[in-house]
């Protein structure tokens, strides 16, 4: 009986070499390039524009199949990348609004000229305002010094 088990175990083993754990298989799945797909459809008798449209249609069908199957929604990598893309989009929107709200070179120059003129105008008015105030203070202080207590 042990000899028969040995014979059966030899018969059941396939002649296929299995890759070891941790090794990558040498035959990788290679997707066809767009040019290859277009040339394939052109070899079937389509002109260039029809072949291009057929390639786009096939791509749309494949994309719709992945999205509608629900596998794309449950994929963690897809969810994380979608969140990251939304975050980047929001940051770019905020940055764009900040840049739009800031004045440009011409506006900054106009603001500088206006503020300089305002300061110069205040500088011209201050002596005319301070001189009468100083006179009022002097007259009040001299009146209080001369009055008997």
pLDDT tens digit at each of 149 positions of the chain:
455 444 444 444 444 444 455 555 555 677 788 888 888 889 999 888 888 888 888 888 887 777 676 654 556 777 777 888 888 888 888 888 887 787 788 888 999 999 999 999 999 999 999 999 999 999 998 888 876 65
- For every residue of 95-111, DSSP letters joined together read HHHHHHHS--HHHHHHH
| CB neighbourhood size of 6 (10 A) | 10
pTM summary value: 0.31
Closest CA to 39 of 50, 51, 29, 49: 51
């Amino acid at each position: 009986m042990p000899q028969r088990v040995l014979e059966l175990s030899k018969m059941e083993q396939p002649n296929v070499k299995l890759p070891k754990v941790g090794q990558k298989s040498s035959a990788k799945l290679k997707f066809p390039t767009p040019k290859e797909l277009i040339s394939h459809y052109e070899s079937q008798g389509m002109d260039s524009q029809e072949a291009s449209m057929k390639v786009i249609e096939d791509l749309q069908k494949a994309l719709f199949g992945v999205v509608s199957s629900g596998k794309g929604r449950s994929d963690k990598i897809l969810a994380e990348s979608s969140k990251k893309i939304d975050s980047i989009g929001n940051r770019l929107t905020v940055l764009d609004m900040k840049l739009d709200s800031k004045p440009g070179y011409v506006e900054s120059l106009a603001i500088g000229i206006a503020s300089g003129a305002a300061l110069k105008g205040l500088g011209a008015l201050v002596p005319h305002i301070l001189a009468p105030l100083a006179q009022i203070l002097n007259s009040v202080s001299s009146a209080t010094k001369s009055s008997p207590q």
